[in-house]
């Protein structure tokens, strides 16, 4: 059985603080995670959760992935930015141009995210988290489309995007050039299998698609860490 997107995980130096921040920005309810960590839950039970796991290593360099938050109108965009700043975000400069309509911020742990201007047609059929926007190759977009069995909704000029057949947040990859990876990613995907699924068969399927198995396992559930074709970590777990 194919692993389903269970969570987007943040490695955080201050997990509780970061969970409070994103809970406040998104309006998602906090809850305990499966490994005793902190999580926030989406309003749609079929959606992914966001998990915050302790990490002692400080952030270095720009993340390979960030959230793009959507806006219904200019006033809504201003409200989202104001709420994020009040909760501890900061304005940052990542090279955006003055004429660009999105606002670039960093959360209290330094993770970049964007508040997109109203009228963005590409994100029109998504939720508040319009996209998990990633730095990555066309190959990795194809990999994740097959891994999650989510169809490609964009494939042009080596840029790719996928979206669940049920709709919601898109995952996008901007194509080359891809910045060199330095250390473990602070944001990564976590897939989950039902308790009765064949974990080894799913692991082998992911390897056949281009993933690499690592020797790292974590927690009582035995989370297995793997690498996608661009070398990004992701986790595969069995639901209890």
What pLDDT digit, counting tens, does each position of 175-188 carry? Answer: 999 988 888 999 99
C-alpha 200/C-alpha 127 separation (Å) is 34
Q: Answer for the pair 126, 167: CB distance below 8 angstroms, yes or no.
A: yes
Which of 9-13, 30-34, 56-60, 92-96 reaches the highest mean pLDDT?
9-13
Tokens, residue 124: 């029109």
Radius of gyration of the chain (CA): 17
Instruction: Give the position of tokens 């699924």.
Output: 197
pLDDT in tens, 123-158: 998 999 999 999 999 999 999 999 999 999 999 999
pTM recorded for the entire structure: 0.94
SS3 assignment, position 7: strand
| Beta-strand pair 212-218/187-193 | unpaired
pLDDT in tens, 111-125: 999 999 999 999 998
Q: Answer for the pair 47, 126: CB distance below 8 angstroms, yes or no.
A: no
Tokens, residue 203: 């692991």
Q: What is the pLDDT of residue 221?
A: 53
């Amino acid at each position: 059985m194919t692993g389903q997107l269970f969570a987007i995980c943040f490695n955080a130096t201050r997990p509780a603080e970061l969970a409070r921040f994103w809970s406040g920005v998104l309006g998602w309810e906090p809850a305990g995670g499966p490994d005793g960590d902190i999580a926030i839950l989406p309003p749609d039970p079929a959606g992914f959760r966001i998990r915050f796991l302790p990490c002692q290593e400080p952030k270095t360099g720009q993340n390979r992935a960030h959230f793009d938050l959507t806006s219904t109108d200019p006033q809504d965009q201003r409200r989202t930015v104001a709420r994020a700043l009040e909760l501890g975000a900061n304005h940052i400069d990542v090279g955006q141009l003055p004429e660009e309509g999105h606002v670039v911020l960093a959360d209290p742990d330094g993770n970049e995210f964007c508040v997109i201007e109203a009228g963005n047609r590409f994100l029109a059929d998504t939720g508040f988290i319009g996209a998990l926007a990633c730095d990555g190759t066309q190959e990795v977009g194809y990999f994740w489309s097959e891994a999650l069995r989510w169809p490609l909704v964009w494939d042009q000029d080596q840029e790719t995007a996928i979206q669940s057949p049920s709709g919601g947040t898109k995952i996008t990859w901007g194509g080359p050039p891809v910045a060199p990876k330095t250390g473990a990613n602070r944001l990564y995907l976590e897939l989950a299998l039902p308790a009765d699924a064949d974990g080894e068969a799913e692991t082998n399927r992911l390897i056949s698609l281009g993933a690499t198995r690592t020797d790292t396992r974590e927690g009582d559930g035995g989370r297995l860490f793997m690498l996608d074709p661009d070398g990004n970590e992701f986790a595969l777990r069995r639901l209890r």
